[in-house]
Amino acid sequence: MTVVLRLPRELRPELRRPWGTLYPRPSIKTYRRLHEESEVLITVGDMTTRSFLRCSIRPDVAVVDRKMLRTVPVDPGNKFPVTLDVNNPPGTITREAWDTVRRGIDYALDGDATLIDVTGEEDLLAIPAILIAPENSIVCYGLPGEGMVAARVTQHLKDSVLRLLTRFRGYDEWKSRSWISGITPCCTAKR
């Protein structure tokens, strides 16, 4: 049986608050600065990924579902040497998706930019990206109607995101099974 973390309805408002700096209309300079300042640059979402690519900046890890606002198809092209495919239903984080984010970050740390192509929904995968990425990485994601958020990964941010994750449905089962299989909720990718 696959262990799935499910977002409870009551947590949705908390996810609408940015975990980093909100850029209503990022400039090319902003994209370049974020790229230069990040240990690993991770983009979650098609619009965010496309915005970096349009500035000739390839994220180290890009997590997309090839749709913007759930409908408009998006093609990131063949700009990534590694592509990983994963299923992740809306409102969830599956163990497979979590492991795929980890693999993508591992590839990036080895120098291979990685596209994670999600069938379903990628929005919540910013959570494992933050918890897995090494400190000083930057996770960028869109906040609909607001702009782009750039979250610098720190231990403080990891602790905050983990506290939120503990309130997801299925967390206790996930945590116990993760320990058995050697997966821990706030592990870091190899450095």
123 is annotated as contributing to ligand binding: no
65 is annotated as contributing to ligand binding: yes
The encoded tokens of residue 41 equal: 């640059």
Strands 82-88 and 92-94: unpaired
Q: What whole-number distance in Å separates Cα of residue 125 and Cα of residue 42? A: 11
46 is annotated as contributing to ligand binding: yes
Do residues 105 and 133 make contact, with C-beta atoms less than 8 angstroms apart?
Answer: yes
Q: What whole-number distance in Å separates Cα of residue 130 and Cα of residue 139? A: 7
Strands 147-152 and 21-23: antiparallel
Q: At what angle do helices 171-180 and 95-109 cross, to 10 degrees?
A: 50
67 is annotated as contributing to ligand binding: yes
The encoded tokens of residue 65 equal: 């579902």
Q: What whole-number distance in Å separates Cα of residue 60 and Cα of residue 134? A: 13
> Can you say which residues are annotated as belonging to the binding site?
46, 65, 67, 122
> Can you say which residues are annotated as belonging to the binding site for GTP?
46, 65, 67, 122
